[in-house]
C-alpha cells in the first residue's frame, strides 16, 4: 500500500520532509501541501511533482479524501488546531515538535485522541530514531554500563533563528533533551533547576544564553543540559550516559577524520538538517510503515505533552534559580503505564 501524504508548512522543515518523503522513504507519496505563504507552498508542490495539489487552507488538505496521512511542519502555535483536526478526521499525523505551544494545548490533543480511542499522533522527536541515540539506549538496556547515575547533555546551535523568543531555548531547543532523556532512561523528569551564567555578547538582547539546566528523574538520575543557541561555531549535540560500570556517549557525527596542516579534525554540522538527516528519514519511514498497518509508533501525544510540561517547569525555575517540580496530569491508559 502507498501512503498518500499531505504536508502542512513548507518552510525549512516542511520542505525538508517533502524531499525526504519523495526521495528516501519507501511506501509513501507526497500528494498535497499547504502553506500560509502561497508562493512558497506552490513552489514546493511544483518541485515535488506535477500531480501534487496545493491547498491554501490546511484544513482542506486534512479533509482531502486523497490524503491518507499528514505531516504538520507549520509554526508551533498552529500545531494544536491542526493535529486535532487530523485526529477528528481519523488520519495519522506526524506533528513536528513541540507537539503544541503550551502543555495545556498538548493536553487538549491528548484528550481528543483519548476520546477517539486510538493513537493517531506521532510527535516529531526524531532523536529517538537517530542511529547513535538508538545504540546508546540499546547499550543501556543491555546492562553494558550498569544502572544509570548521571547524564551529560549539550545542545548548541550556531545562531538562534530570527523568531527565537526568550522562552524558546527551553520550549523549542532543550525540549529535545527532555524527550530523549525520558526515553533513554524510561523515567519521568520530576524536578528542574535553571542556572544563569554570564550571557554571551552574541546573544540577542532579551535572550539569556547559554543556560545550564539540571533535571532530576523519578528514578533519582541527575541530568545536566547546556543549551547554547548562539554558539557561533556550528551545530553540536552531545550526550553521555554515566552508569555504575561505565559510560556510553554519542560518537562524533562524521564519517571521516581529516589530518592536514599538522592538525586532525572532523567537520562540525551547520544545523540540524544535516546532523539529523538520517533520523528524520528513519522517523518518516517508521511513521509511514505504521500508518500503512493502521498503527502508530514513536513518541506519542503523551510524550509531546510531558516534554512541554518540563519546558514550562524550566520557565518557572528560571525566575529565581530554585528547583521546580514538574506537575503532570494523570496518564491515560491509551499511552500504557
Ligand X SMILES: NC(=O)C1=CN([C@@H]2O[C@H](COP(=O)(O)OP(=O)(O)OC[C@H]3O[C@@H](n4cnc5c(N)ncnc54)[C@H](O)[C@@H]3O)[C@@H](O)[C@H]2O)C=CC1
Ligand Y SMILES: O=C1[C@@H](O)[C@H](O)[C@@H](O)[C@H](O)[C@H]1O
Q: What is the largest CA-CA distance in the chain?
A: 63
Q: Does residue 106 sit in helix, strand or coil?
A: helix
**Residue span binding ligand Y (CB under 6 A) among the ranges 25-33, 64-72, 107-115, 171-179:** 171-179
Number of residues forming the site for ligand Y (CB under 6 A): 6
Q: Residue of minimal CB distance from ligand X? A: 11
Residue from 231, 316, 318 nearest 269 by CA: 231
**How buried is 198 (Cβ within 10 angstroms: 0-12 exposed, 13-18 middle, 19+ buried)?**
exposed
Q: Which among ligand Y, ligand X, none contacts residue 173 (Cβ within 5 to 8 A by kind)?
A: ligand Y
Give least dist CB 173 to ligand Y, A. Answer: 3
Strands 121-124 and 93-96, how do they pair? parallel
Q: Which of 172, 193, 217, 308 binds ligand X (CB under 6 A)?
A: 172
157 binds, among ligand X, ligand Y, none (CB under 5 to 8 A by kind): ligand Y
277-292 helix and 12-24 helix, angle to the nearest 10 degrees:
70
Burial annotation 231-251 (CB, 10 A radius, 16+ → b, else e): beeebbbebebbbeeebbebe
Using CB under 6 A as the binding rule, whether residue 34 contacts ligand Y is answered as no
Q: Report the alpha-carbon distance of residue 326 to residue 312 in Å, rounded.
A: 8
Answer whether 213's CB lies under 8 Å from 310's CB: no
> Taking CB under 6 A as the rule, does residue 74 contact ligand Y?
no
Cβ atoms within 10 A of the Cβ of 273, count? 15
Q: Which is nearer to ligand Y, 132 or 172 (CB)?
A: 172
Binds ligand X (CB under 6 A): choice among 5, 7, 10, 85: 10
CB 14 within 8 A of CB 44: yes
Q: Is 38 in a helix, a strand, or coil?
A: helix
Report the C-alpha gap between 57 and 38 in whole angstroms: 10
> x-or-dash pattern for ligand Y, window 253-292, by CB under 6 A?
-------------------x--------------------
Residue list 30-89, contact with ligand X (CB under 6 A): 34-37, 40, 58, 73-76, 78
Nearer to ligand X, 123 or 324 (CB): 123
Region near ligand Y per CB under 6 A, out of 168-176, 193-201, 289-297, 327-335: 168-176
Could you say which of ligand Y, ligand X, none residue 76 binds, taking C-beta under 5 to 8 angstroms by partner kind?
Answer: ligand X
Q: Does 176 bind ligand Y (CB under 6 A)?
A: yes
Residues that bind ligand X (CB under 6 A): 8-14, 34-37, 40, 58, 73-76, 78, 96-97, 124, 126, 172, 272
Amino acid at each position: 500500500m502507498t501512503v498518500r501524504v499531505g504536508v502542512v508548512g513548507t518552510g525549512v522543515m516542511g520542505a525538508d520532509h517533502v524531499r525526504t518523503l519523495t526521495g528516501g522513504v519507501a511506501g509513501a507519496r507526497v500528494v498535497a501541501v499547504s502553506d500560509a505563504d502561497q508562493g512558497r507552498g506552490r513552489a514546493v508542490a511544483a518541485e515535488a511533482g506535477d500531480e501534487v495539489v496545493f491547498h491554501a487552507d490546511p484544513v482542506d488538505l486534512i479533509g482531502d479524501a486523497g490524503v491518507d496521512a499528514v505531516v504538520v511542519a507549520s509554526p508551533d502555535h498552529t500545531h494544536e488546531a491542526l493535529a486535532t483536526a487530523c485526529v477528528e478526521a481519523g488520519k495519522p499525523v506526524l506533528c513536528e515538535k513541540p507537539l503544541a505551544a503550551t502543555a495545556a494545548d498538548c493536553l487538549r490533543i491528548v484528550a481528543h485522541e483519548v476520546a477517539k480511542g486510538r493513537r493517531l499522533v506521532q510527535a516529531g522527536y526524531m532523536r529517538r530514531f537517530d542511529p547513535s541515540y538508538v545504540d546508546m539506549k540499546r547499550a543501556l538496556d543491555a546492562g553494558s554500563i550498569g544502572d544509570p547515575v548521571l547524564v551529560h547533555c549539550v545542545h548548541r546551535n550556531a545562531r538562534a533563528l530570527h523568531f527565537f523568543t526568550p522562552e524558546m531555548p527551553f520550549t523549542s531547543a532543550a525540549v529535545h533533551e527532555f524527550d530523549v532523556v525520558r526515553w533513554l532512561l524510561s523515567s519521568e523528569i520530576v524536578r528542574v533547576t535553571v542556572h544563569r551564567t554570564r550571557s554571551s555578547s552574541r546573544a540577542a538582547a532579551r535572550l539569556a544564553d547559554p543556560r545550564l539546566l539540571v533535571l532530576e528523574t523519578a528514578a533519582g538520575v541527575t541530568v545536566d543540559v547546556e543549551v547554547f543557541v548562539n554558539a557561533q561555531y556550528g551545530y553540536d549535540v552531545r550526550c553521555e550516559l554515566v552508569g555504575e560500570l561505565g559510560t556510553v556517549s554519542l560518537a562524533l557525527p562524521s564519517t571521516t577524520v581529516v589530518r592536514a596542516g599538522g592538525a586532525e579534525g572532523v567537520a562540525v554540522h551547520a544545523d540540524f538538517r544535516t546532523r539529523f538527516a538520517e533520523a528524520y528519514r528513519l522517523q518518516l519511514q517508521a511513521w509511514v510503515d505504521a500508518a500503512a498497518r493502521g498503527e502508530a509508533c514513536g513518541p506519542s501525544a503523551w510524550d509531546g505533552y510531558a516534554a512541554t510540561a518540563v519546558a514550562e517547569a524550566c520557565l518557572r525555575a528560571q525566575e529565581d534559580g530554585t528547583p521546580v517540580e514538574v506537575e503532570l496530569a494523570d496518564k491515560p491508559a491509551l499511552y500504557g503505564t
